[in-house]
Structure 1
Amino acid sequence: MIPAPPVPVALRPYVAARIPYDVRFGAPGVHRGLPSTTLTLVLPLDDPLRVAWAGRPSTLHAAWGSLSGLHTEPAAVHHDGAQRGVQLALTLEGARVLLGRPAADLSGALTDLDEAAVPRPLRELPERLHAVPTWAGRVALVDRVLAALAAQRGDHAPRAEVARALALLTSGTRVSEVADEVGYSRRRLSSLVRAEAGLAPKAFQRLARFETARRELGRRPLAEVAALCGYSDQAHLSREWSALAGCTPTTWLREEFPFVQDRADGVPAGSGHDH
């Protein structure tokens, strides 16, 4: 775990987490990147990040800046026994402000910064990061670049009613009740959520529930996690975990949890490449 100051207050609407990582696995291998309601931006040190969608080796690519939009399948992150870098979890508002586009444009995408055509300061950030010798300096550089982008772009927040709908969906409110709350038909709500996040309301809500389960997994019995997160029972939780993470909760706890547990506090429930 690398000590780092919290995300600056001015960036918190856009950056759910900013995690400097230095992970030692002991041997080459692959670990899982979990789906999330945030976009994942990884800036690796030492070597390009090699990542693909799990079970689809043809999608493997290496990049000094890896960007993934919202997705409902796990990623496979290849490593040589160790990884270092900085990982960012960007909110939907952060996609608009920092990337200059709605998250829907990157839904299901696994790409690099050049292909994603992000603003130049972000494309130049990996090379600048490599020239900084300390973790404190690297984190400070990332924060400065993001703060400058946010200041330049001004207010590009999603429409207030769409932001409200997304917050209600994240909290577990039924889709029909969300539509009533924001004053839209279910069809109109679905169109607006898709345009912002790239997912239908129920799919977005599914990711939010998975994130909550991910936060609790390993900290209480599986049956309690299932009840707390709104799954019908433990079997339902296991089926959803297998579908979204590519393994059962028990397998994830055994293979991935020790590394996740060692990371800095404040990591969102599902953090994309999940270092």
Structure 2
Amino acid sequence: MPAHQRSAALAPFVATLSPYELGPGSAGVHRGLPSSTMSITIPETDSLEIAWLGRPGSRKRFRAVVAGLHLDAAELRQEGGTRGVWLTLSPLGAGALLGIPASALSGHVADLADVAPAMAYLPEQLAACRSWPQRRALVEGALIAGRARHEENTGGQELRATLAALSGSTRVQEAARLLGCSRRHLSGTVRTVLGVTPKEYQRLLRFEAARGGLVAAARAGTASLAAVAAASGFADQAHLTREWRAMAGCTPTEWLRAEGLAARGPSGRGGASR
């Protein structure tokens, strides 16, 4: 199947599919931020160590890892090689490609081989690929095969409508009204499918909007937390900073600095205020 056909077939289910580089040297560390999607991280070599920030004793090692929706940050450490492939799945993609509801891994991580045994070969075969197009084709082929195995789990209209209503509303009650159901019914549906409450899902969406806004503003050299907060649905800059401390374990400015974005901009003098 040509690349464009594979991508089109996966478009409703895969939000992101890209290579990653954790940093120079033999060990790379990355802060995994809260997310409204499921993610799959596949190192090219060695394994990946993950620890939830603020959860003592949570450090575990995985050959490749699947993470559910989560409201906490995690530390990802990869020894012996710092490259790999990272992809995120929409809630629809969890059932369509992996055969499980997103709620099955909410707030947790698991080895890819345990969640999708048919994909257990991916780390070794990725290491043998010589280029990104080859690696992308390998992963997309595995996902297409997963879709064929779990076609009955694609689900669709009701979940799409539910997520759209929550994304387009700032209040859960308003989303329930748009869907023509009670708030209690909406809460039950979202918990069953996503493993989080509707309010928590909206919190994740707001956080992700702020993350995207921070990156875009920093790269343009116009980063302003007040402007990002307003555009992302936060009450004010202080609200944004409190949420980032609670969910990411750092301030937005600290995160931008760690990502190497705090000083970027057209003139090289851009920055972000705390």
**What range is the shorter-chain TM-score in?**
0.7 to 0.9
Residue 245 of structure 1, aligned match among 220, 243, 248: 248
1:129-168 maps to which residues of 2 (within 5 A)? Answer: 129-158=126-155, 160-168=157-165
What's 1:109 paired with?
Answer: 108
What's 2:41 paired with?
Answer: 42
What's 1:70 paired with?
Answer: 69
What's 2:225 paired with?
Answer: 222
Determine if the alignment matches structure 1 residue 87 to structure 2 residue 90.
no
What's the offset of the Cα at 1:258?
Answer: 3.8
What's 2:270 paired with?
Answer: none
Contact 1:161 1:182 (8 Å CA) reproduced: no
Give the TM-score normalised by the residue count of structure 2.
0.85
Structure number with the bigger relative contact order (C-alpha 8 A, sep ≥ 6) is 1
Alpha-carbon distance change, 7 to 226 in structure 1, aligned in 2, over 3 angstroms: farther
Alpha-carbon distance change, 257 to 194 in structure 1, aligned in 2, over 3 angstroms: farther
SS of the residue corresponding to residue 85 of structure 1 reads: strand
Larger gyration radius, structure 1 or structure 2: 2
What's 2:269 paired with?
Answer: none
**Counterpart residue identity of residue 21, structure 1:** Y
Contact 1:38 1:70 (8 Å CA) reproduced: yes
Tell me, in whole angstroms, the C-alpha distance in 1 between the residues paired with 2:54 and 2:60. Answer: 14
Alpha-carbon distance change, 52 to 6 in structure 1, aligned in 2, over 3 angstroms: farther
Number of residue pairs aligned between Structure 1 and Structure 2: 255
Tell me, in whole angstroms, the C-alpha distance in 2 between the residues paired with 1:204 and 1:50. Answer: 26
What's 1:8 paired with?
Answer: 7
What's the offset of the Cα at 1:159?
Answer: 5.1
**Counterpart residue identity of residue 159, structure 2:** V
Identity %: 45
Unaligned runs of 5+ residues in structure 2 are 218-222, 265-274
Tell me, in whole angstroms, the C-alpha distance in 1 between the residues paired with 2:22 and 2:114. Answer: 27
Determine if the alignment matches structure 1 residue 176 to structure 2 residue 181.
no
Tell me, in whole angstroms, the C-alpha distance in 2 between the residues paired with 1:76 and 1:142. Answer: 24
SS of the residue corresponding to residue 71 of structure 1 reads: coil
Q: Deviations over 1:88-138 (max 9, x none)?
A: 10110110011101000111111212343x2x3222222222232332211
Contact 1:97 1:156 (8 Å CA) reproduced: yes
Alpha-carbon distance change, 132 to 31 in structure 1, aligned in 2, over 3 angstroms: closer
**Counterpart residue identity of residue 211, structure 1:** E
What's 1:264 paired with?
Answer: none
Residue 199 of structure 2, aligned match among 196, 199, 202: 202
Identify the range of structure 1 (142-151 vs 91-100) with the bigger mean alpha-carbon deviation: 142-151
What's the offset of the Cα at 1:82?
Answer: 5.7
Identify the range of structure 1 (139-148 vs 127-136) with the bigger mean alpha-carbon deviation: 127-136
What's the offset of the Cα at 1:15?
Answer: 0.5
What's the offset of the Cα at 1:246?
Answer: 0.7
Unaligned runs of 5+ residues in structure 1 are 262-275
Tell me, in whole angstroms, the C-alpha distance in 2 between the residues paired with 1:158 and 1:177. Answer: 24
Give the TM-score normalised by the residue count of structure 1.
0.85
Tell me, in whole angstroms, the C-alpha distance in 1 between the residues paired with 2:235 and 2:80. Answer: 39
Alignment root-mean-square deviation, CA: 2.3
Tell me, in whole angstroms, the C-alpha distance in 2 between the residues paired with 1:113 and 1:13. Answer: 21
Alpha-carbon distance change, 99 to 91 in structure 1, aligned in 2, over 3 angstroms: same
Tell me, in whole angstroms, the C-alpha distance in 1 between the residues paired with 2:106 and 2:173. Answer: 24
Residue 188 of structure 2, aligned match among 185, 188, 191: 191
